[in-house]
Chain A
Amino acid sequence: MMDVWDFVAVPLSYGFMQRALIASIFIGAVCSVLSCYLVLKGWALMGDAVSHAVLPGIVIAFVLGLPLAVGAFAAGLFCALMTGYLKDNSRVKEDTVMGIVFSGMFGFGLVLFTKVDTDQHLNHILFGNMLGITARDLVEIGIVSGGTLLAVLAERRDLLLYCFDPQHARAIGLPLKVIHYSLLVLLALTIVASLKAVGIILVVAMLVAPGAIAYLLTDRFERMLVIAAVVAIGSSAVGTIVSFHVDGATGPCIVLIQAFVFLLTFFFAPRRGVFALRRA
Chain B
Amino acid sequence: MSLVAAKGRRTHVASADVAATLSVRDVTVAYSNGVVALRDASFDLGPGTICGLVGVNGSGKSTLFKAIMGFVDPRHGEVRIASLPAAEALKRGYVVYVPQSEEVDWNFPVLVEDVVMMGRYGHMNFLRIPSVEDKRKVDEALERLDMSGYRHCQIGELSGGQKKRVFLARALAQEGRIILLDEPFTGVDVKTEVAIVDLLRQLRENGHLMLVSTHNLGSVPDFCDHVVLLNRVVLAAGPTARTFTQKNLERAFGGVLRHFRLEGGELHADEDRRRVTVLSDDERPVVFYGDERGDEEPLRRKNHEDES
Contacts and interface: CB of A to CB of B under 8 A. Distances in A.
B271 interface: no
Contacts of B298: none
Interface of B: 1, 9, 69-71, 90-93, 95-97, 99, 102-105, 108-111, 114, 118-119, 121-122, 126-128, 154, 170, 174
A173 B97 contact: no
Contacts of A155: 126
B153 to A, nearest CB: 9
18 contacts: A40-B105, A157-B121, A157-B128, A158-B121, A161-B118, A164-B110, A165-B118, A167-B97, A167-B103, A170-B71, A170-B90, A171-B69, A171-B95, A172-B119, A172-B174, A173-B9, A173-B91, A219-B111
Nearest to B124: A157
Interface of A: 40, 154-155, 157-158, 160-161, 163-165, 167-168, 170-175, 178, 215, 218-221, 224
Nearest to A39: B109
A270 to B, nearest CB: 14
A224 to B, nearest CB: 5
Nearest to A214: B109
Given A164-B108, A164-B110, A172 B90 contact: yes
A8 B164 CA distance: 54
A244 to B, nearest CB: 36
B93 A165 contact: no
B81 to A, nearest CB: 12
A171 B9 CA distance: 14
A218 B109 contact: yes
Contacts of B103: 167
Chain A at the B interface: SS class = helix
Given A165-B104, A172-B121, A178 B109 contact: no
B90 A171 contact: yes
Which one of B1, B102, B119, B174 has the highest number of Cβ atoms from chain A below 10 Å of its Cβ? B1
A220 B109 contact: yes
Contacts of B70: 170
Nearest to A156: B128
Nearest to A154: B127
Contacts of B122: 172-173
Contact of A173 (B71, B93, B108, B114): B93
Nearest to A36: B109
A173 B70 CA distance: 11
Contacts of A171: 69, 90, 95-97
Contacts of B119: 172
B68 to A, nearest CB: 10
A106 to B, nearest CB: 30
Contacts of B93: 172-173
A255 B100 CA distance: 43
Given A173-B90, A173-B93, A215 B109 contact: yes
A156 B195 CA distance: 35
Contacts of B69: 170-171
Which one of A157, A163, A173 has the highest number of Cβ atoms from chain B below 10 Å of its Cβ? A173
Nearest to B121: A172
A224 B109 contact: yes
Given A157-B121, A158-B128, A219-B154, A175 B1 contact: yes
Nearest to A219: B154
Contacts of A174: 1, 121
Nearest to B127: A154
Contacts of B154: 219
Contact of B118 (A168, A219, A220): A168
A224 B108 CA distance: 11
Contacts of A173: 9, 90-93, 122
Contacts of A167: 71, 97, 99, 103
